[in-house]
Structures are given as C-alpha cells and as structure tokens.
Structure 1
C-alpha cells in the first residue's frame, strides 16, 4: 500500500514508519525539516513541506492510497498556543484530499477532547484549563471538519502517550472514551494505525484506545 504520512519525525510517526516499512508498504513522508528524518529505505520518499501549505500536501498525496496524519504539538508549552495546527493545518489536509480525490484518512487527536470520568481535581480544574484546553479546542474544530467531510475517515483518540514498548495488546472502543483509560505507548498507537490502514475496520468511526 502507498501511504502519505504527516508527522513522520515525531515519536508516533517514526514508529509508524518502522512498522509500515517492515510490512512492505511504500511511504511518502512530509517533513518540515527533512534532514531530521534519518531513516533510509528504498520504499521511503521524504518531501519537504508543512500542513499550512496546501500545495505541499497535494504534492505529497500524488500516487498514494491513504493519508495517515499523526502530526501534533510536542509539549505543554506549545499546547497553550496551538496556532491553528489542527484547525487550520488539519483542515488543509482535508482540502488537499478533496482536491486530489483521496478518500481514506486516519487522523490522531486525543481522548482529552472530551471530559474524562477519571480526571482528578488538579488535572480537571488547574492543569487542563491552563495548559491543554486551547489545544483540545483546536482538535475539536478539526474533528468537526472531518466529521462533516465526505472522507472515509477514522479519528483515533489515544490517552497520554509514552515511549513504552510495542505490545500489540490494547483496548479499542468505537462508542466513546474509556472511563478508566491508561497511558498508551506511541508504538502501540502506531500499531493500531497500521492495522487500520491495512484492514479498514473502523471507517467513519471515532476510536478510543487504552491499555
């Protein structure tokens, strides 16, 4: 399968690259700084660009079958000022797909876009409002735009991500967030994304993951 990958230099993107190339897929990866992506593979093409430029997205999507979007904000300080990364950049992805006739999209947001039953007092009333809420609101706009598009989407909402190992063992919910969600490794998020890329079991679904 020919995959257009957004966010290839992040932890989830790198894990997805490794697993997808290992399964024999061809990847076209978009990177703002291509030299930061040090993986060399005959089935990998690295293209310079970013999600704020529709033309770089349409170029990336040429001769691909599916778009996998794992780009995101790298830290809590950046989360306070998302600068439209999801609402503008993510919506540009939708526009580029519509322009190029692509239908299949896998997009990662976060379980935090909805209230969590197991949120503690400090997280719910102090940490989330101060550091994360603007990012979550930006993600909500992206999700809304995906849901109202004509794409064959799968929105994936992981919990807090770690650099833990690949286990292939995690829970999947297509009916809402888990009430007891736990941290998830980026490797296992990538594992689900690759499996869904190959099998398409959750088309037009919003999926939560957790151990």
Structure 2
C-alpha cells in the first residue's frame, strides 16, 4: 500500500512513517523542508505547504490511503488543509483517511449532546484547537469518506506498549494519558487494517 502522509515530521506522524516503512508500505510525504532521513527507500518527499490545495493534491495522487498528524499550530492550518484535502481525495478516488484529533472532540459523558471541550470534563480553558478539530470531524461526518479520527488524551512522549484502551466516540473511563508511540500504533493499525470506520476513537491507558 502507498500512503500519503501529512504531518509526518511530528511527534506522532514520524512514528507512523516508521511503522509504515517497517510494514513494507511506501509513503509519500508533504513536508516544509527536505530532511536527510527522507532519502531512505520507500519515501517520496514533496516540499510544499499543507494549506496549499495544489500541494495537497500532488501528495495524495497515486496513493491508496491518507494519514494526517497535523495539528492546529495555533493557526487555521488544520482547517485550511482539510478544505483542500476533501476535493483532492475525490479527484484521486481515495476514500480512506485516518487523522489525529483531540480528546476534546469526543462526546461528553457528563453532559450528553456536547463535546468534552464544551463540558466540565476538559481542563483546557482555551478552545481554539478543539474547535478546529471539531470542524474536521464535522466535515468528515458529513462526507462519504471512510474516515477515522484517533483522539488521544494527554500525549507525552513515551514507549510503545501496544497495550491501551479505546472507545468509540468517548474517552475511556479514567483515561489520563497515552504515549505518542502508542497513539501512532493505534493510528497505523486503523490505517493498515481498515478498522474503526467512520468513528472518533478515544484513546488512553
């Protein structure tokens, strides 16, 4: 399988790249700057901007599925990227897309009908990032794409254990943290095995 990967130099994205290569897949990366590690076999690096629809379209062309580990970066990068991604996927006839979201866009257990970031479950006072991720979810939800959004809670660097809890639409009860490595593993597994179709996946230990 050939994967288009956005955010492949980030804390989670780079590990998804490594897992894909170890799994025998090819990856096509959109990056701002070419780096030495991108010269290894199996990687095609495209230098560009995720906010540029032409660069996004070039990256997905000829691939079978898409992974995005892009964050908000305190800007509208994420939502601008998604607006360019949707038509690019239609042109390339790709339906499968897995992205990293935030636990804030999972459903609240305490306040039915709202996101966690809109309820007392979230400790975050600033909601801009969650609002951006919510826009991505709502865009996917209203599309015909075969999408999955992996929604980790507090995300420190940490080892790969492959032992974690998942729950559709909600954060596992008492979930406090999850490592970047296990988040990457969950995302890669969903991508390579085609699981968690059209759902948000809460992720925690």
Using the size of structure 2 for normalisation, the TM-score is 0.87
Can you give the 5+ residue segments of structure 1 that lack an aligned partner in the other structure?
A: 118-123
Return the offset for 1:38: 2.8
Return the offset for 1:34: 2.2
Q: 1:135-192, CA deviations, whole angstroms, 9 ceiling, x for partnerless residues?
A: 1111111110111011011111111111101111111111422231121111111111
Match of 1:7 in 2: 7
Q: 1:31-60, CA deviations, whole angstroms, 9 ceiling, x for partnerless residues?
A: 11223x634321011111122111111111
| Aligned-partner Cα distance in 2 for 1:209–1:125 | 15
| Aligned-partner Cα distance in 2 for 1:207–1:126 | 17
Q: Going by fraction, where is helix more abundant, 1 or 2?
A: 1
Return the offset for 1:4: 0.4
Match of 1:44 in 2: 43
Return the offset for 1:88: 1.9
- Does structure 2 retain, via aligned residues, the 8 Å contact 1:116–1:179? no
Can you give the 5+ residue segments of structure 2 that lack an aligned partner in the other structure?
A: 111-119
- Does structure 1 retain, via aligned residues, the 8 Å contact 2:38–2:45? no
- Does structure 2 retain, via aligned residues, the 8 Å contact 1:178–1:210? yes
Task: Tell me, yes or no, if structure 1 residue 84 matches structure 2 residue 80.
Answer: no
Match of 2:170 in 1: 176
Q: How many aligned positions are there?
A: 196
Match of 2:113 in 1: none
| Aligned-partner Cα distance in 2 for 1:50–1:146 | 21
- Does structure 1 retain, via aligned residues, the 8 Å contact 2:109–2:170? no
Match of 1:141 in 2: 135
| Aligned-partner Cα distance in 2 for 1:13–1:25 | 15
Give the SS at the match of 2:37. Answer: coil
| Aligned-partner Cα distance in 1 for 2:88–2:139 | 13
- Does structure 2 retain, via aligned residues, the 8 Å contact 1:85–1:138? no
